[in-house]
């Protein structure tokens, strides 16, 4: 899996958009960008993933640069419940997700009232 670099921590005001960056300059052509988050004392939660096109779902948007060397996860209207550690992971996708997931240190997002 390609290595990723994320800021250690970020703050965001409640109701504002949270933009979480991730660098993955060694990403391969068949590797996807995945985002998970872990709320304190809970198991990780899948958020979104993409290959090269921007993706959006009910939780977030994923913006991937044209050269695919970096991406940004956008939470459009952050709430206090979005306070968590966010993990950006680059890996080959496979039907059924049989590839193991290797976690880095992630970004601790603190949403401030």
Partner 1 sequence: GAVVSQHPSWVICKSGTSVKIECRSLDFQATTMFWYRQFPKQSLMLMATSNEGSKATYEQGVEKDKFLINHASLTLSTLTVTSAHPEDSSFYICSAPPPWVETQYFGPGTRLLVL
- The DSSP annotation for 50-94 comes to ESSS-EE-SS-EEEE-TTSSEEEEEETT--GGG-EEEEEEEEE--
- Tell whether residue 41 is a contact of partner 1 (CB under 8 A): yes
- By CB under 8 A, which span of 1-9, 52-60, 69-77, 93-101 interacts with partner 1? 93-101
At 93, list the tokens.
């996708």
Contact 2, 24 (CB under 8 A): yes
User: Is residue 44 near partner 1 by the rule CB under 8 A?
Assistant: yes
Shortest Cβ distance from residue 73 to partner 1 (Å)? 15
Q: Which residues bind partner 1 (CB under 8 A)?
A: 32, 34, 36, 38, 41-46, 49, 87, 93-98, 100-106
């Amino acid at each position: 899996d390609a290595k990723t670099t994320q800021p250690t921590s970020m703050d965001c005001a409640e109701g504002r958009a949270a933009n979480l960056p991730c660098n993955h300059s060694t990403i391969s052509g068949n590797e996807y960008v995945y985002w998970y988050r872990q709320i304190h004392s809970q198991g990780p939660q899948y958020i979104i993933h993409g290959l090269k096109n921007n993706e959006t779902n009910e939780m977030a948007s994923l913006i991937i640069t044209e050269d695919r060397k970096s991406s940004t996860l956008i939470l459009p209207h952050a709430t206090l419940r979005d306070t968590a550690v966010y993990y950006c992971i680059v890996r080959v996708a496979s039907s059924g997700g049989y590839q193991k997931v290797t976690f880095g240190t992630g970004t601790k997002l603190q949403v401030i009232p």
